[in-house]
Structure 1
């Protein structure tokens, strides 16, 4: 495989190959290697300080035992993910694991966390197909007379309006071509509710590929915008007064070529396993939100009556429920039966997010956790006594729930769990008392 990558580097005239990973803050980071040295570095990896997994989204290093100035890991690229970058001539990318110098897995590697979740599924005869469904805001980064830069949307068009298509056409076409050149199959595109808000979704894939795809997607959206003199942000709330950017997570569970979630005789066409999977998600949902919507800015989006989900409930095509049972396609009911997790956004580390969701759902199946009755109305319209439990209203609340969740903390492990909590609690402190302009600026410029 290394020889094949080296050949592609040479024939494709690749000067630099980026080895990328996602950190605990949800930031995509990495290093690059000169093209002629890529085969060597596929064997040794690139040296990297352990401290980077204790770095916040504001680049402040947190005191985490085992992640200080002493210690080394290697950024070890997965050669199966090699792809030239259509938006960066002369560059290519590979998604990477963080490993110990002797090549053994490192206990704080996010990609390994997802691999382990996939292995747990395989041990009981299951596999997953997953897709991240990102929204993002397209605009221009604009200085202000006072305060930080702000993001000015490219248009003020209406949801799904033809005007929105016109305003972003050149960008959308270039983005589509760039995604497909990297092996992602685009399925849908439309202008969304917020001013300048876009959604371009890609086909489902096995979990590791789905998370890798989302890293590539995030980088591609931002890079294509920059090449056109624009700025794109996948932050949950880049503009405080506009609709938030979700990244709904779609999942289906498979055993061989059979969709385990599908049962035409079950309520909403869902099997027992599908119902129990929902039960597991709801049982762990307060803790999950610390991983699926893991920024201060993310909880600005998770408010009632915003179609983002604010309550721990499920329903059939209920877009105010945290878990939506999606209506299957008429001519492909089994293939298209899937669940959608709505309290999810692109500021999350996709490997940690998806790995935690898989473990929560699998726990529900193992324990046969019943999710209770489906909610078929906006839960916020119910009498207060009848409403489902409210999701955490802040990152701090979600981190408290995560720290108290034995299943997820055990899965994260001592090093990763301690580092994640430290990094995120530092973010809570850093944004406390700051205004919305400061918060939105630091999120729209980084996600």
Structure 2
């Protein structure tokens, strides 16, 4: 028999790695020897030889380690992932590793990266923290924090849950565990010292069952560690047959689980479960069991890998088998997992053909199923050309709303967007979008076929000078250091890809800027925000969440003295019902469009200015909040245009009317808890020590921050006294004349503060750079333990309170003298930003009415 067709199919298929872990830095304390099985084992010798051959180094562990050190992380990652031909990775980032990279970092090396949430690690993180009111943990408060405040919050952003119950108390889950038993288990866990490690069986079983219920409600799969592992695992308790009580429980009849690691040495038991828990075999609805053979390949000997794979296929349907590398810490583990999996799968499928179980065409299809299509189906990441073409990683929106079993509404577009049906869909163009240094939204439209064939992986070129363009001048600002020489690469972040609600035959995706794949450009605003967020996380174990208020003016077109002119939509007062009613057709479409994009809207209402409205977004992690703000502005402008109107976010449309801002609400989070808010009412001002230090840093650097967040001379026409914007340098408790306001929205306990509102931002600012500036200032406050002065809770007195910069010139001068951004934005990028601001000053000083043109740009 000729197996060349089968061999080609196995080698060419671009794999979906459905179970992996984070990579670590080269200087991590996690030793490279952990990439292998035990030294001197057959697997160790074979895998070391494979890596040495890949690198062209001498055949020794020391030689390979020296090659890694000299080559650097970027080089070895590029080499390993290119050789592995993996197009999508699902990462369980819950494994504690020294100096591990976050999930976003991995996007440099594979087109699509998704997250798997490890439930036991999440539970331990929560219990390591404290409740906001200072009370002790109870089972009810823990369950709320674990389920409602964490899993449900991220359910739309992950691809599945994962349990390592086998490591803690075994797989014989008691499906009838009582709340009383779980409460006692929690009490025993809390008696032990922190950091918490949950090993109490009753509590582990309770956590497992709660998680499986949520997974079922949100149609998420649940990965379960089975079979062999490290020495702290009791192998006797990791037999998947112990899960029968869970599998037979009717509460979980719609669940989908995957047994990891080929369940070795219980591969036959796993095969049996996959064969009998299959909707294809019985009429009654029941749990579905899938199999994943990562870790068994490549950790076993060649004979062990092949025999384990054959045992899995003795009973299990082929459409239940999934590839993964179980890659962890080192890029070489991803390469080894992929390489040996291809070899083993070819060998097993070839033998199946020889034995008469499969024809060669059936074996070819089986290879595609095992390496990509089964995972795509299970994790709902359906991809272009059934997951086997070069477009494997193309992401698109799955619009629409799905109701869960318990009535929870889950917007599918809120998931890290699914790999699309490619050329079979009706999408003809993809808009590749970015925001430049002046705050303008830019895009390139790419035909869908070219996007799939090339741009999704390789991006498109962009002249570097464009990041030095000002708002109205299409040439690089003087002193920016950028010119017509040089090109950056716009590479789509496929997790942001969405179907455009108002143009159903188009999609849009946000782009990152790279020098080349895997090497970010210093001038990339999105990368700057990721870097700032990482500093906040690494140094203080904090995440910043943000929610934006969007003020804008709706304009209508009229003819006056034979000339067309844009004028405010109406002149009704604040929160006018008639004003909203007149514009409700616009806002109905806006709300529906934003919902389809997975963006939460809290409220829409008329503002104080003529034709002015405000749209308030829900808060989320700051990197995502910036993305959502970009899409929100796009939606508002597009829907208004569809209705014959023009929506403008410029700070001051009319100099004799109130201006429009883009206020942002900030909070700090740790282990699922808002730690900006004080833990009890005795704390001064209701703000935690961390919150006060962070806020003090922002207040100190606010004059300089204005040059980033209020980027145009027109911005300072808005920042005037007695306009509820904040023209003086102070903070206040619920004082709307304060540029920084401690906010306590409804639902906040009395005497406490929920978040910090920063009013200085406006709709012409680059949201990524604005949040970078705020994080940088806050981090300075945390590093130096700055003290927050007393608030001003009255109208500011010009004779007492210092005025904030009244012009872009003044704020730029403040930025020139302040170095708080040095660790967050490169010197070259900061120089370009300053040059753009200087160009704005020069241009508008000579063209006083030029700001009127901005309604078409912002």
Whether TM-score is above 0.5 comes out as yes
Residues 1:189 and 2:625 are matched in the alignment? no
Number of the residue aligned with 2:544: 128
Secondary structure of the structure 1 residue equivalent to 2:774 = helix
CA contact 2:544–2:667 (8 Å) conserved in 1: yes
Task: Name the counterpart of 1:326.
Answer: 743
Alpha-carbon distance, 1:98 to partner: 0.9
Any conservation in 2 of the 1:235–1:443 contact (CA below 8 Å)? Answer: yes
* Deviation per residue, 1:164-223 (Å, 9 max, x gap): 111211111111111111110111111110111111111111111100011111111111
State the 1:242 CA deviation.
Answer: 1.6
Within 5 A, what are the aligned runs for 1:339-354? 339-354=756-771
Shift of residue 294, structure 1, vs aligned partner: 1.0
DSSP-derived class of the 1:392 partner: coil
Does the aligned pair in 2 maintain the 1:402–1:408 contact within 8 Å?
A: no
1:328–1:334: 8 Å Cα contact kept in structure 2? no
**How many residues are matched?**
440
* Matches of 2:676 and 2:828, distance apart in 1: 34
The reply to whether residue 401 of structure 1 matches residue 810 of structure 2 is no
Q: Which has the higher contact order (CA 8 A, sep 6+)?
A: 1
Match of 2:554 among 138, 145, 155: 138
Contact 2:531 2:824 in 1 (8 A): no
Task: State how far apart, in whole Å, the 2-side matches of 1:74 and 1:346 are.
Answer: 26
Give the Å deviation of 1:310. Answer: 0.2
Q: Give the whole-Å Cα distance in 1 for the aligned partners of 2:637 and 2:664.
A: 20
1:150 deviates by: 4.9
Other-structure match for 1:444: 855
Q: Secondary structure at the match of 1:254?
A: strand
Matching residue within 210, 216, 230 for 2:645: 230
- State whether residues 315 and 375 of structure 1, in contact with CA within 8 Å, keep that contact through their aligned partners in structure 2: yes
Residue 432 of structure 1: SS of its match in structure 2? Answer: helix
| Paired residue secondary structure (1:14) | coil
Using the TM superposition, name which of 269-278 and 423-432 deviates more: 269-278
Gaps of 5+ in 2: 1-111, 113-392, 397-418
**2:669 matches 1:217:** no
**2:714 corresponds to:** 297
Alignment of 1:241-390 (within 5 A): 241-263=656-678, 264-330=681-747, 337-379=754-796, 382=797, 384-387=798-801, 389-390=802-803
- C-alpha contact (below 8 Å) 1:191/1:197 kept by paired residues: yes
Q: How big is the shift at 1:323?
A: 0.5
* Pairing 1:24–2:441 present: no
Question: Looking at CA atoms only, which structure, 1 or 2, has the larger radius of gyration?
Answer: 2
3-state secondary structure, aligned to 1:386:
coil
Taking the aligned partners of 1:9 and 1:237, their CA distance within structure 2 comes to 43
1:11-52 Cα distance to aligned partner (Å, 9 max, x none): 541111111111011101121211112232121011111111
TM-score, with structure 1 as normaliser: 0.94
Q: Is the 8 A contact 2:525 2:768 kept in 1?
A: yes
For the 8 Å contact 1:178–1:220, the answer to whether it is kept is yes
Aligned counterpart in structure 2 of residue 179 of structure 1, from 581, 589, 594: 594
Q: Is the 8 A contact 1:402 1:409 kept in 2?
A: no
| Structure 1 portions without partners, runs of 5+ | none
CA distance change for structure 1 residues 323 and 149 in 2, over 3 Å: closer, same or farther? Answer: farther
d(CA) in 2 for partners of 1:8 and 1:333? 51
| Post-superposition CA distance 1:259-305 (Å, at most 9, x none) | 11111322232111111112101110000001111111111000100
CA distance in 2, matches of 1:43, 1:348: 29
User: What secondary structure sits across from 1:175 in the alignment?
Assistant: helix
Out of 385, 403, 427, the residue aligned to residue 840 of structure 2 is: 427
- Structure 2 residue 491 is the aligned partner of structure 1 residue 76: yes
1:396/1:99 CA distance change after superposition, 3 Å:
same
Alpha carbon RMSD of aligned pairs, Å? 2.0
Other-structure match for 2:448: 35
Shift of 1:338: 0.5
Q: Write the distance in 1 (CA, Å) between the matches of 2:624 and 2:528.
A: 14
Cα 1:32–1:255 change in 2 (3 A) is same
Q: Contact between 1:128 and 1:207, CA under 8 Å: does it hold in 2? A: yes
Q: For 1:41-52, what aligned pairs fall within 5 Å after superposition?
A: 41-52=455-466
Q: Distance in 1 between matches of 2:694 and 2:427?
A: 44
CA gap of 1:90–1:390, structure 2 versus 1, over 3 A, is: same
| 1:331 to partner: Cα distance | 5.9
**Distance (Å, rounded) in 2 between the aligned partners of 1:340 and 1:434:** 34
In structure 1, C-alpha distance between the alignment counterparts of 2:489 and 2:699, rounded to whole Å:
37
Query: Matched residues in 2 for 1:153 and 1:4: separation?
Result: 39
* Contact 2:544/2:669 (8 A) holds in 1: yes
TM-score (norm 2): 0.50
Matched, 1:413 2:830: no
Is 1:100 aligned to residue 515 of structure 2? Answer: yes
Residues 302-359 of structure 1 deviation map (CA, whole Å, 9 limit, x = unaligned): 0100101101111111110010000243366799811000111110000000111011
* C-alpha distance 64-309 of structure 1, shift in aligned 2 (>3 A): same
Name the SS for the 2:729 alignment partner. strand
Instruction: Indicate conservation of the 8 Å contact 1:403/1:409, yes or no.
Output: no
The answer to whether the 8 A contact 2:703-2:814 is kept is yes
How much does 1:65 deviate?
5.9
Shift of the alpha carbon at 1:361? 1.0
SS where residue 7 of structure 1 aligns? coil
Deviates more, 1:45-54 or 1:137-146: 137-146
Q: Which residue of 1 aligns with 2:473?
A: 59
Preserved CA contact (<8 Å) 2:480 2:835? no
Cα displacement (A) at 1:159: 0.6
- 1:160 corresponds to which residue? 575
How far 1:142 sits from its partner (Å)? 4.9
Report the structure, 1 or 2, having the larger strand content.
Answer: 1
Greater CA drift, 4-13 or 208-217:
4-13
